Amino acid sequence: MLAIKQNKKQPSRGSGLVVADAVRSPGKRARSSAPKAASALEGSAVTTPAQYVSTSGEQLAQWDKLAALGQLLANVAHEINNPVGFVSNNLEVLRNYVDVYLKMLSLTVKLRESVERKAWAEADAVAAEIRRYEESVNLDYMIEDADQLLRQSQEGIGRIGKLVGDLRAFAREDSCRKDELVAVEHILDTVLGMIRADLQGGIDVRKLYGNTPAVSCNKNKLGQVFMNLLMNARQAMRAKGCIEVRTYALDGNVCVEISDNGCGIAEEHLDRIFQPFFTTKPSGEGTGLGLSISRDIVTQHGGRIAVASQVGKGSAFTVTLPIPKGTQGIRTN
């Protein structure tokens, strides 16, 4: 796995490892976008993608989010279909068990009535019938299995509820709040749960969490950043591979490093990967906005995003976020 060494001299181009750091000044971007926004409003109603980059950053962020949601739909369908499938099967088995229980209840009522009438011969016959039926259906196993089926079904329904809740939280319109203290590990776990289906089939995900302090952030927007980086890492590996998600605190910052052992990024592309609409993916597989939007979101949070990559070895993206003053010891669940 590639790793970005903090506070170290960057390697030379001859080493094969290429490191880039993407930081955008929010103030400069605001000043440069104002004249373009005015000219766009005064001109034709038809605008180009380049004009949207300079005048509609929030709209582009929503565009990227919608593209991510489109990718998530298949994941959501798969993740919901799995628990729905085994819950449906469990219910079918439980229906058969209920039929057996009803039969046993009927025999028990018949036995009680025989006892109440003091029809002892009839009661003995019913008792014998109950014993034979109990042995034929293996009632002890059914009682134990029914409890397990119910617990599994409850867990499946819980998985569906959590997935839908996480998806709603990711999709909802937010107000760019930055005053919510959240652990980055919690955001990462939420995102990893939503894209779990994409990370199956030979992809090993290693979580190396450092129990970092909480950061002041908009958790939905940071989730969008981490989703972009994780999906890029997945797509860099066409078959089997490994993704490492590491968190740690360094020099008053929380760092999130997402690395893979995929195809890597060519040196000539590294300086352009944060440009809007630039993509090295095949046509139809990407909007070219993910890394650009991610860079902007991280910058809005006072952080920075850096990348180290080597062709044939993989890539590592590190998001660095400041720890708010006075919260260095705060942990959140």
Lowest pLDDT segment from 48-62, 201-215, 239-253, 266-280: 48-62
What pLDDT, on the 0 to 100 scale, is given for residue 39?
A: 42
Q: What is the mean pLDDT of the chain?
A: 77
Q: Is the pLDDT of residue 317 over 60?
A: yes
Q: Tell me the per-residue pLDDT of 79-106, one tens digit each, with 9 for 90 and over.
A: 788 788 889 999 999 999 999 999 999 9
What pLDDT, on the 0 to 100 scale, is given for residue 15?
A: 45
What pLDDT, on the 0 to 100 scale, is given for residue 104?
A: 92
What pLDDT, on the 0 to 100 scale, is given for residue 174?
A: 52
Q: Is the pLDDT of residue 158 over 80?
A: yes
What pLDDT, on the 0 to 100 scale, is given for residue 62?
A: 58
How sure is the predictor about 63, in pLDDT bands with cuts at 50, 70 and 90? Answer: low
What pLDDT, on the 0 to 100 scale, is given for residue 25?
A: 43
Q: Which residues are CB-neighbours of 315 under 8 A, at least 6 positions away?
A: 2, 232, 233, 236, 259, 260, 262, 264, 265, 307, 308, 309
Give me the mean pLDDT over the 140-145 stretch: 90
What percent of the chain has pLDDT above 70? 67
Query: Would you call 25 exposed, middle or buried from its count of C-beta atoms within 10 A (0-12, 13-18, 19+)?
Result: exposed
Q: Is the pLDDT of residue 333 over 80?
A: no
Per DSSP, the three-state class of 306 is strand
In this structure, what are the phi and psi dihedrals at residue 250, rounded to the nearest 5 degrees? -155, 125
Would you tell me how many other CB atoms lie within 10 Å of the CB of residue 175? 6
Would you tell me how many other CB atoms lie within 10 Å of the CB of residue 193? 15
Give me the mean pLDDT over the 18-36 stretch: 46
How sure is the predictor about 130, in pLDDT bands with cuts at 50, 70 and 90? Answer: very high
What pLDDT, on the 0 to 100 scale, is given for residue 302?
A: 92
Q: Is the pLDDT of residue 41 over 60?
A: no
Buried b (16+ CB within 10 A) or exposed e, 212-223: bbbbbbbbbbbb
What pLDDT, on the 0 to 100 scale, is given for residue 280?
A: 66
Nearest to 224 by CA among 259, 248, 258, 188: 188
CA separation for the pair 275, 290 (Å, rounded): 10
Query: Would you call 53 exposed, middle or buried from its count of C-beta atoms within 10 A (0-12, 13-18, 19+)?
Result: middle
CA separation for the pair 192, 220 (Å, rounded): 14
Q: What is the DSSP string of 268-295?
A: HHHTTTTSTT---SPTTS--S-HHHHHH
Q: Tell me the per-residue pLDDT of 229-275, one tens digit each, with 9 for 90 and over.
A: 998 898 888 778 999 999 999 999 999 999 999 988 888 888 888 77
Give me the mean pLDDT over the 164-187 stretch: 72
CA separation for the pair 195, 190 (Å, rounded): 9
How sure is the predictor about 160, in pLDDT bands with cuts at 50, 70 and 90? Answer: confident
Q: Which residues are CB-neighbours of 73 under 8 A, at least 6 positions away?
A: none
Q: Is the pLDDT of residue 183 over 60?
A: yes
Q: Is the pLDDT of residue 177 over 60?
A: no
Helix axes 139-171, 184-194, angle to 10 degrees: 110
Rounded-to-5 percentages of helix, strand, coil across the chain: 55, 15, 30
Query: What's the whole-model pTM score?
Result: 0.59
CB 94 within 8 A of CB 320: no
Q: Which residues are CB-neighbours of 174 under 8 A, at least 6 positions away?
A: 218, 220, 221
